[in-house]
Amino acid sequence: MFRVTIREIHCGEKFGQTIEVSVRDATECLVVAPTLPSGRRLHKSVAAEGWAKAVGIARRTSLSELRAPQHIIEMCTSAKGFLRYGKIDEAPTFLLDFTQESGSHWLLDNRVESWLISVEPIAVPANPALP
């Protein structure tokens, strides 16, 4: 299992040059890891899945209300869409100043909005005690 932390990134620009970068408050969710990928591929998949759970669901509703074509909705709101169209990459090191999480860090950028996504493995007890 993984803890996924998502922060929306905002860039201030002047004359086409970025002059400041800030991030919004974090949103967290838990993701159960898929079984196939491993290593960096696994963390990238988990980052995309976490974004889809925390941000994509609301976005899917909005796009549906606007009557966007289904293939556009899938491409813009699902983990599979972001992984397929290559819009998620390892975060540049300067963005790591905005996070306290260990683990891997990813940048999801759709050319309009950007998010810093942190993926941390968390231990799950083998036999959790029932209350």
pLDDT tens readout for residues 19-64: 567 777 778 787 776 555 667 788 888 999 898 888 888 889 999 9
pLDDT of residue 8: 87
Q: Which one, of 12, 17, 44, lies nearest residue 31 by Cα?
A: 44
Q: How many CB atoms lie within 10 A of CB 110?
A: 13
pLDDT of residue 40: 77
Confidence band for 131, pLDDT divided at 50, 70 and 90 = low
pLDDT of residue 65: 94
pTM: 0.79
